């Protein structure tokens, strides 16, 4: 059942979709792709002066392994690059090829269930309130020695939500047939369990 089995997991920043996706992939033995890293890699190159479209066209798998891709500056640059249609088009084939691999695949991002893999076997939308997500991101940044204020982090989260949800090309939204998992009041274990249950139910049907 796992061959060619695709799980699409979407959601806003800091909702927990990356954590859930990695855990789900490990549980079922599927390959995992954090598609946000594709855009972060493009954003990182933009910060060095490279044109966003050129960066997307020249992207290599090893570009996704750069530790600097997790900084707030790269995240903002990635979000801005993601609104460019030519950038999204350049990265489309990479993602669809990954999704179709034998052995099953989990892809997480913002338009996986709606645009990249609309025929995915399972679609999940992992979300949480802006305040909860900002608190998580604030704690993460503090743990890495980055001293942004909570108010600044919350403003950044809300700005990114607006940009992601209002962009003309592939806006962030749940697929019509997605299962919604709100992690605002869930532990990591509870969120993962909900995702595993949703996937197992489809596999058993």
Strand order in 6-10's β-sheet?
31-34, 105-109, 6-10, 122-127, 179-182
Annotated binding-site residue? 198: no
Annotated binding-site residue? 12: yes
Residue 31 to residues 38, 77, 124, 152, Cα–Cα distance (Å):
16, 27, 17, 35
Annotated binding-site residue? 13: yes
Annotated binding-site residue? 142: no
Annotated binding-site residue? 14: yes
Annotated binding-site residue? 35: no
Annotated binding-site residue? 11: yes
Annotated binding-site residue? 72: no
Tokens coding 164: 């992601």
| 127: enclosing H helix or E strand | strand 122-127
Tokens coding 195: 């995702």
| DSSP 8-state code for residue 88 | H
For the stretch 154-174, what's the b/e string if a residue is b when 16 or more beta carbons lie within 10 angstroms of its beta carbon?
A: bebbeebbebbeebeebebeb
Annotated binding-site residue? 15: yes
Sequence ranges of the binding site? 11-19
Sequence ranges of the binding site for ATP? 11-19
């Amino acid at each position: 059942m796992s061959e060619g089995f695709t799980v699409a997991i979407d959601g806003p920043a800091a909702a927990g979709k990356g954590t859930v996706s990695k855990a789900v992939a490990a549980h079922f033995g599927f390959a995992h792709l954090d598609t946000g890293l594709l855009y972060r890699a493009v954003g990182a190159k933009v910060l060095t002066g490279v044109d966003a479209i050129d960066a997307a066209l020249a992207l290599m798998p090893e570009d996704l392994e750069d530790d600097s891709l997790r900084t707030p500056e790269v995240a903002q640059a990635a979000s801005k690059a993601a609104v460019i249609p030519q950038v999204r088009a350049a990265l489309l084939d990479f993602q669809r090829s990954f999704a179709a691999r034998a052995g099953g695949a989990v892809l997480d991002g913002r338009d996986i269930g709606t645009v990249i893999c609309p025929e995915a076997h399972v679609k999940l939308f992992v979300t949480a309130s802006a305040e909860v997500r900002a608190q998580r991101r604030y704690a993460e940044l503090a743990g890495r020695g980055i001293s942004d204020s909570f108010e600044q982090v919350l403003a950044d989260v809300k700005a990114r939500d607006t940009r992601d949800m209002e962009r003309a090309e592939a806006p962030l939204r749940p697929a019509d047939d997605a299962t919604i998992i709100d992690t605002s009041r869930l532990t990591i274990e509870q969120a993962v369990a909900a995702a595993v249950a949703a996937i197992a139910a489809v596999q058993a049907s």
